[in-house]
Structure 1
Amino acid sequence: MKAVFYEEHGDTDVLQYGELPDPEPSRGEVLVDVKAGALNHLDVWTRRGMPSPGEFPHIAGSDAAGVVKEVGEDVTRFEPGDRVAVCAGSYCGTCEYCREGEHSLCTSYTIIGEHSTGVHSELTTLPEENLVHVPDHVDWETAAAAPLVFQTAWRMLHSRAELEQGEDVLVLGASGGVGHAAVQIADHAGATVYATGSSQEKLDAASELGADHVINYEAENFAEAIDRLTDGRGVDVVIDHIGGATWQDSMSSLAKGGRIVTCGATGGPKVEVNITDLFWNQYDIMGSTMGSNADIDGVLPLVWDGTLEPQIRETLPMSEIATAHEMLQDREGFGKVVVIPDSEL
């Protein structure tokens, strides 16, 4: 089979699209004929070596969709011909967190494509618990682009922040995968949505997806804009997947009793917190990683029925994977980048 892989960490020039041995399903695994994959900023960090996969060559990618080609022993949920999408979080199923349904808190939680072999290849094998059924009417690009970012955003807003109708939500980086999913989920929950972006094109796209107020962070400080737009109150929830570069302004944007939820640190992992502000204003700071099965079950039906919609900024053949990575790291466009095996074009 052909696959996207690299044999060392580095810039986009380490990416290859070439022949690797065909995988075979082991007990409990499913062999999938991949029809489409989708990129996340996670792919850029993993390619650069953060964290390092266990061995090389490393097949990239955490998002994909396709058709079941073969099933291993003891597989009960799928059979050849089924349409499936990948849910990238792997868990033990037996620890105290898994028993409580909090799979993303599992003591051995890992992410496919980050800590183990990825799925940007013509064929891939996965444990059956890492697959979900895809309805016949859903196109492959949507099926591939939805699971990771919509699961992540759903967990941040619903499972962690416990967002309520009528609250105010600020979504940073609304043009990205998690950001554009969070705008839609918050709007669907009945929140007033504030969204940031770096261009009018991105802000217009966020507005079309449900943002009530948009802020060009290149033109004005978003914390000052939130202060102005909310008459000094601030917002109830901030969705921040950037980290160091935005943290102080995110905290300054909160109303008393507000919650900040973070799932990433693309702008730096180290932040400072003014403890006096934290306790005096009774803020909550919450971490969130991908999601549990309940988050998948909550959000994907809304994607399959069209209530929520992954935005596809570009679809490229897998052989142009370097261009796809460059689009992510250069923050071009709005939404997800999808890659298709060259044999499917």
Structure 2
Amino acid sequence: MDAEETKDIDVNPLEVLLYVKCCSIDIVSKPLEQKFLPEGYSNLPVIRSVSGVVAKTGASVKRFKQGDEVAGLLPLDLAKTLHGIRFTSIPEEYLIHKPSRLGWEISACCLLDGLTAYTALHYQAHIRPGDTLLLCNGSDSTGVIMAQLAKHWGAKVLVTAVNEEEAQILRMISSDTPQVFGGHQLLHNFVMDETGGLGIDCIIDNGTLCKNVADSYDDDFSKPTKHDIISCLAVGGRWVTNQSDLQIDPPDSEVLHMKGASICHLFPEMWILSTFQQGRYLHVLEDILDKACSGVIRPHLMTVLPSSEVQSRSDLFPSKSSIVIKL
């Protein structure tokens, strides 16, 4: 990094000019999340997290100095494209210090998935040692980290898989392999066999539920029905859903009421909607990188590409892998 390259770049007093080493990209496909994107960014690969070196700081920045190694998440309304990303200005409150032993690629890869996992498991599901957790189609990059964290915290993890390829991915998570469910119509029986008829303490779906029961006979293993999930919950169970337009029918609502079960909506961007959560949000990000550095979190599903290949490899989007661009 040459100081001559940054001397003519003005920095907002509350922002940090970052020399980007790596960034993770994604296509935001959910309609609700697309509402937060800058105009014209829908259906384009956008940068969600970055890692790099502080090139310059604004006059009011207190937590960082030039030369610090940092990583951070970009809110949806500040999402950027790869064009001209080598030097980019980011508000100080979205960055944390990166452990020196942790690689640039892992730092950029695990923050968003880690934040999603922490939000679902710790703050919404309140996972405790001995709890049972069911991840619906948990072989994507977020599901892998959720499974690793839940097992680290002492929970028994059950994961659904669409096919043998996804089952193999799940077996690679650790030597203590999560249980893998191999058929959609057998979900309830599988859960009851694994839990001794008690049901699951927490279920996390990936936002692709069947709209109605009739759809459940299509052999689409990744789409359980709402009734499937509710029938598998234990007394006092928690259902964390990624589906923003979820509607519960009265009979299912009665079952939830009798079980004393609850539903939480998973939206990781909620952390930046209130300044009251700022300290807790940064603490979560720091803990994610610490766990990645110690090996607790190991994002196996990572693809590292040079920036020149992004346009020619558009077939990778959308993907279950975390896609990292090395600049």
Please tell me whether residue 174 in structure 1 is matched to residue 138 in structure 2.
Answer: yes
Q: Which residue of 1 aligns with 2:196?
A: 231
What stretches of structure 1 of length at least 5 have no aligned partner? 1-21, 89-111
Q: Which amino acid is the alignment partner of residue 71 of structure 2?
A: A
1:115 has 2:94 as partner: no
Query: Do 1:239 and 1:260's aligned partners in 2 also have CA atoms closer than 8 Å?
Result: yes
The one-character-per-residue Cα deviations of 1:217-248 (angstroms, maximum 9, x if unpaired) are 5x654344223332332210111231433351
- 1:272: which partner in 2? 248
Q: Distance in 2 between matches of 1:323 and 1:32?
A: 26
C-alpha distance 179-49 of structure 1, shift in aligned 2 (>3 A): closer
Cα RMSD, aligned residues only: 2.7
* Among candidates 40, 57, 64, match of residue 78 of structure 1: 64
Give 1 or 2: higher helix fraction: 2
- Is the CA contact 2:98–2:289 (under 8 Å) kept in the aligned structure 1? no
Q: Distance in 2 between matches of 1:197 and 1:132?
A: 35
* Match of residue 260, structure 1, among 239, 247, 255: 239
**Residue of structure 1 aligned with 2:181, choices 215, 234, 244:** 215
User: In structure 1, which of residues 19, 29, 33 is the aligned counterpart of residue 19 of structure 2?
Assistant: 33
Asked if residue 44 in structure 1 is aligned to residue 20 in structure 2, the reply is no
The Cα of 1:165 is off from its aligned counterpart by 0.2
Given the alignment, which residue of 301, 319, 328 partners 2:308?
319
Change (3 A) 1:196 1:261: same
The superposition leaves residues 98-141 of structure 1 with CA deviations (integer Å, 9 ceiling, x where unpaired) of xxxxxxxxxxxxxx2x2223264222211111111112211111
**1:183 and 1:206 in contact (8 A); partners too:** no
**Partners of 1:79 and 1:59 in 2: how far apart?**
30
Partner of 2:265: 287
Q: Which moved more, 1:230-239 or 1:45-54?
A: 45-54
Look up the equivalent residue of 2:63 and give its one-letter code. R
Report the Cα offset of residue 142 of structure 1.
0.2
**Aligned to 1:165, what secondary structure does the other structure show?**
coil
* C-alpha separation in 1, matches of 2:312 and 2:198: 43
Q: Which residue of 2 aligns with 1:250?
A: 229
Q: Residue type matched to 1:26 in 2?
A: N
**TM-superposed deviation, 1:315:** 1.4
- The answer for unaligned runs of 5 or more in structure 2 is 1-7, 211-223, 272-280
CA deviations over 1:248-273 (Å, ceiling 9, x no partner): 122222112110112x23xx734334
**286-295 or 49-58, larger mean C-alpha shift:** 49-58
Asked if the contact 1:316/1:324 (under 8 Å) is kept, the reply is no
Deviation (angstroms), 1:309: 1.5
Separation in 1, partners of 2:110, 2:319: 21
**CA drift at 1:50:** 2.3
Question: Could you say which residue in structure 2 is the equivalent of 1:165?
Answer: 129
Counterpart residue number, 1:305: 294
What is the number of equivalent residue pairs in this alignment?
A: 287
Counterparts of 1:46 and 1:214, CA distance in 2: 27
Q: Secondary structure at the match of 1:146?
A: helix
State the secondary structure of the residue aligned to 1:182: helix
1:162-199 Cα offsets, whole Å, 9 max, x none, are 11101100112222122111000100011110012223
Q: Which amino acid aligns with 1:275?
A: S
The two structures have a TM-score, normalised by structure 1, of: 0.74
* 2:29 counterpart SS class: helix
CA displacement at 1:146 relative to structure 2? 1.2
Amino-acid identity (%): 25
Q: Using a 3 Å threshold, how does the CA distance of structure 1 residues 308 and 330 change in structure 2: closer, same or farther?
A: closer
Q: 1:220 to 1:63 in 2, by over 3 A?
A: farther
- Greater shift, 50-59 or 159-168, is seen at 50-59
- 8 Å CA contact 1:166–1:190 kept in 2: the answer is yes
Tell me which of 86, 93, 99 is aligned to 1:129. Answer: 93
TM-score by length of 2: 0.78
- Contact in 2 for aligned 1:196/1:215 (Cα 8 Å): yes
Contact persistence 1:243–1:270 (CA under 8 A): no
Structure index of larger Rg: 2
